[in-house]
A and B are shown apart, each in its own frame.
Chain A
């Protein structure tokens, strides 16, 4: 029997449903472990005037406290390898930029003792003005969130460059001049939680050899190992990540949340340390899906061709960049959706606010634009008095069409998927639309305004 294509049961399914799978919090070490808790910022934005851990360190059961001073490299960026400069400290130094930002971590014999020590840490803050509405980030009197300003300036790489992700294609002015109608709309999906069953958790066991064994719920063991190694300034052979089985991630466990600080506490105390976030921390201090603000203006003809699109996107990164520039670039690459639009003018900004940093979540960068584009497409069809199936089929990606960044499509399925759902729903298409395929355009489906975009396409498969 061939395995590929077969409805085989989940490899690890039985263990999951009978409760036998070992997740990180199930791991036990022979000599037991210390427990970590974090002091988190109670303020959305403040200057740290004073941080004193001396009294907390004297409390019963406390084995060690780590602040930014204990971290070999405190500021490290998730995307440094891609030329995105670092902006986020592992533990806050002079400023806190979001409520819930970690400032210090304690290791103690019990979670209760660790929490008591956290509450005994003396922290004095000087409140600063906050910014939450990304639409006001560009105002002259907006509070300044970040040394970089209120939006990410490095879309040309570490030597700065454009302060936005740009996409330019074709002749946008001609498209808008030739249009019969221009339809504008604004689309704003919300921040949402990843809601994993397993909260962020790590167990770090120091070995006599000096190695750290890190039991991790990361979605990306090598990526997280790289992050820990960078903060600790150690080579990869000093670390062993144990994981591969996760109790729900959805993107929220791409950030390396508990591993590094647990490792620092393990090094400082020479004891195994476990840090498991409470449900409240998971909801309030862990990253969310980003809220987005998208404005679309489409130049269209009365008979249903999309000639051009102008789009502005503001991506709410929260207080630090993390993966946001990556997510926005992916968003920019896919802002035409499953359609072929020959003339494009896109500007996208990664905007900082005093919100918990946003991060990857299922569909990162594209979930937002799929909602915006699809609602906008139906709006245009309704405005023009066209059938929403027909308007989509007419402008659908076809073999030989190009994406906003000039890649020639080789195997699009816009047409096939529309046909499939229409048939299943019992909606009958007009014969000319029912007969459409994804084959290269010709005849009335290759009007002049689509000829140039095909010619300008670049190599598909590298």
Chain B
């Protein structure tokens, strides 16, 4: 039904896909597996018409196709349930089911639309909701199910589901599985992207693994074991990538006790010591980043207690955290990591702007001295400080986003996804710089969906799955297999 040959895609200097082949037959569920950053999402975006490949050929039903826009993808019979939701909250449920569908007709009455949406909603277990209510009245899980209802309504020949169950509970996941099976039985070719290995074994007929922008020949699911699958996903390890762990750690710095917050379904406790690096591993929506946001002052703490250096620590806004010497670097560099249209001096001095100014007037010399000191610590070219941050590569931008916080001499650095969108070489460098900071007594708490990163970098590792901490322990006792199992399929452990 669908064939992709030698597809490649780069974003600037970063290669997302180097050489990918994909074959999906009608009536088949093809699981697409790979680690974060392996290129799965890029691949499905190309199929959905949201991205254009640099080279390669796509054929549907034996005929070559050019997919230039989401509308063209739709015309080719491809339907896509995105990882990020594509439900418009202000529209009604029924309108969302038929959103983007040009064939429903120009004239529509809300009641007839609701009536027509009803059977599709019923098939996904949403039969009892009122389709004329706005979509924002429903939970994220229900909205995800609405997307699948939309997919059903389009009678697609090829359906792409990109982590459709990431935000769902068990009951809801069962509804999705039933819908996927029905779709396949009706002759639809299904590409199913997931991190949950249980679903792979339950649903898929064949598995295609993507690693570092390359695809592997598809394997029949029935011939696979959980362990073998994990090994294939991980591939060889890059031992030399990570600096050695801390030989010893200092006193208790951060004590998190019985804390509950948005994104967690059961309370977490852990202790972070000076000079220690604690890595929280988990997929998107697993709750690994939840407590980081509380510590940064972004979301409120519902329950539990946090002490920093023996004193209670309850930041209400980001500024509180910064005052207490807690720096936070989010996973969205474009949004709040760097000022893309300002130069590096201004980027690096931003957190200490009151230290390099007097009575509101900037002291340029103090600013330059400060930024040069920071730049040297993070190996940023001090002769290029006049360049705009937006013109740097992802790796160098990340060095700026992280490095600027060293300037406030924090006691705790919180990092989400320390190396998202950073190439391999720059990764090793960032890891080295972070480790150098902990040697000076800085404690680092980071969350990552990259198993290798957590395993290689952290001294202590916590694993998260569906809002719960699966386990926490010394990194010496962990292996890539244990972490991958914990964050994808902890049931196997029990």
Q: Do A and B come from one complex?
A: no
Question: Chain A: residues with CB nearer than 8 A to chain B?
Answer: none
